[in-house]
Amino acid sequence: MNAVNRRLVLLGGLASAAGAIALPSGVPSWAGGRTTAAAPPIRDPFQLGVASGDPLPDSVVLWTRLAQAPLNPDGFGGMPDASYDVDWEIATDENFGSVVQRGTVAAARAQGHSVHVEPRGLDAGREYFYRFRAGGHISPAGRTRTAPAAGATVNQLKYCFTSCQHWEEGWYHAHRGIAEDNPDLVLFLGDYIYEKPSGRGPELKVRGLAVPEETTTLALYRARHAQHKTDYDLQAAHAAAPWLVVFDDHEVVNNWNATTDRASNARKAAAFQAFYENTPIRSSAKPNGASIQLYRQFLWGNLARFHMLDTRQYRSKQAGRHDCSDMRDRSRTLTGSAQEQWLLNAFESHPATWDFLGQQVFFAQRDTDGRSATCDRSSDAWDGYLGSRERITQGWIDRSVPNPIVLTGDVHRHWAADLRLDYFDHSDPIVGSELVSTSASTSSAGVTPPSDTWYSNNPHIRYYKGERGYVRVTATPEQMRADFRVVSNALERDPAKVTIGTDASFEVGAGERGLRKV
C-alpha cells in the first residue's frame, strides 16, 4: 500500500481555509451544494476531523461531526439550532479524480450534528478516499478500505490496537505512530474518553480539560468526546484507516458494569448516545436508551476474523476478591449468556486462519501472591469469572478453532501471555495467547514492575512493559507477529524529541500454540 499523502489526510488537504466560504480551485461540482434552507452560515465545522470504521466487503462507515466551536460545554459544538445538509463522496484515488459514490445526508441537532454514512456496493478489499462538505466548507480527506470478500485469499493483514487515552495525562504520540505505520485496520479497545478529571499530580498532567467537571449529562459527554477529537494525532490515526471500536468503563463511569449501581439508566443513555455520535460504528449499533448492541464480528477474507466483545453490559455478580466459593459457577458470566453463545456459535465455523477476540479486561491468570488456591483474583478481570473464561476457552478447544488470540486493553501496560484451560495448573497445555496493549496516554505511574518471584508464579506471562504505546500486529497465513510499540515520553509535547520504537516482538506460528520471542 502506498503511503497516504500526509498533506491531504493529516493537514486537511482540500479543506477550505477556516472560515472561508469560497471553494478552492479544482474542487468538483458536488461541493457547490447548499445548506438546508434557513440554516445560518457557519465557520469551519470540520474541526473534529473524519473517520471510518466497521468495514465489510461492500461497505464501510464514513463519519464526521459538525462542530465550529468543539469545546462549548453545551455539547452542541457551537452549531446553531438547525439541520445542515452534508455532502459526501468516496473515490478510488486521493485526488478524487475517480469518484465512485456521492450523496447528501442531514446532520441534525438531536444527534449532535453527527454524520454516519454507510455506502453500499463498494469493491471488496479495496482502498478508498472520502471527504465531506457542509456550509461551504470541505473536510480533510480520509483513507479507508473495505474488507476482502469472504473466502478471498489474503496474504497479509497489518493492524494496530490500543486503549485508554486520558486527555490530561499524555500527548497522543501513540496515535502518530499508528498513522505512520499505515495499517489496514485499527482497533480501539476501550476508554476512548475518561469521564472525570485526572487524579494525578500536576507533573503528570500535560493539558487541561475544557469542561473540568465529571461527565454526567449528554452535553458533557459530547463536549469530552469533542475535545479528544481536536487532537491532531488522533485525527491522523482516524483518517489513516478504518477502526473497530468497543468501549470499556470510562466512556460511562469508572468500574461500571451490569451488576453495579454506579451508572443510572439516564447516565448510561447519555453516555451511549455520545459514544455513538462520536464513533464510526454502524447504525445497527445506535443505542436504545440505556442499551447498545456493541458486540459484533468482522471477517478479513480467509486470513482473519475479529470478535469484538462487550464485557460491561451483561455481567452477572462477580466473585469477591478472596471468595473461592462458586468461582466456577456456571451461571456467573462476564459476557452474558447471549453474547457467550453467539461467540461459541461462531467458533463452530473456521472461515479464517486467525481468530482475534477484541475485548477489554485481562484474560490470563495473574497470581499476585503465589497462592492460587486462595482465589486472590481481580473482580474486574476474567480471573473473577473463572467459569465464564473456562467455557469460552473450552469452547474454542472443543470446536478446534485453529489459532485463537485474545486482544486486551484496560491495564495501562504492555503484557504478553500464553493461555491455559486450567489456570490453577501451570503444567496444563497452552491453548492460545493474549496480547495486551498499554495505554495510548493514561499514566501507570507508581506501578511496581513484576518481580522475578512474580514471574515464577506466573510462568505463562512472557512480557511486561509499563510505558505508553500500542501494539502492531502483522498476520500472514504462516504466522502472526506482534510488535509492542513504546513511546519514549508521553509527557513531552514536541514530536521531534519523542521516539516511537519496538520494545519487544513475539510470533505465533499458524497451527502452533504459544508465543515465541523474536
pTM for this prediction: 0.92
Question: In terms of domains, do 375 and 498 share one?
Answer: yes
Residue 389's CATH number: 3.60.21.70
In a domain, 371, yes or no: yes
Task: Name the domain boundary from 99, 117, 145.
Answer: 145
Amino acid present at 329: D
Distance between CA atoms of 171 and 437, rounded to whole angstroms?
17
pLDDT tens digits, residue range 166-180?
Answer: 999 999 999 999 999
Question: In terms of domains, do 331 and 250 share one?
Answer: yes
Is-contact 360 339, C-beta < 8 A?
no
**Number of folded domains in the chain?**
2
Distance between CA atoms of 218 and 204, rounded to whole angstroms?
28
Question: In terms of domains, do 412 and 465 share one?
Answer: yes
Q: Could you please report the per-residue DSSP string of 179-225?
A: HHT--SEEEE-S-SS-SS---S-GGG--S--SS-SPP-SHHHHHHHH
| Span 251-264, average pLDDT | 93
Q: Which three cell numbers stand for residue 476?
A: 500472514
Question: In terms of domains, do 141 and 161 share one?
Answer: no
Question: In terms of domains, do 115 and 161 share one?
Answer: no
pLDDT tens digits, residue range 67-97?
Answer: 999 999 999 999 999 999 999 999 999 999 9
In a domain, 189, yes or no: yes
In a domain, 240, yes or no: no
Question: In terms of domains, do 473 and 510 share one?
Answer: yes
Distance between CA atoms of 228 and 191, rounded to whole angstroms?
12
Between 319 and 222, the more confident residue is: 222
Task: Name the domain boundary from 93, 112, 145.
Answer: 145
Task: Name the domain boundary from 125, 145, 165.
Answer: 145
In a domain, 315, yes or no: yes
Between 6 and 193, the more confident residue is: 193
In a domain, 308, yes or no: yes
Question: In terms of domains, do 315 and 447 share one?
Answer: yes
In a domain, 232, yes or no: no
Number of C-beta neighbours around residue 135 at 10 A? 25
Q: Mean pLDDT, the chain, as a whole number?
A: 90
Alpha-carbon 113 to chain mean position: 22
What pLDDT is recorded for position 449? 83
Write out the residue range of the structural domain in which residue 11 sits: 6-145
- Whether pLDDT at 35 is above 50: no
In a domain, 111, yes or no: yes
Question: In terms of domains, do 134 and 209 share one?
Answer: no
Question: In terms of domains, do 167 and 193 share one?
Answer: yes
Is-contact 228 167, C-beta < 8 A?
yes
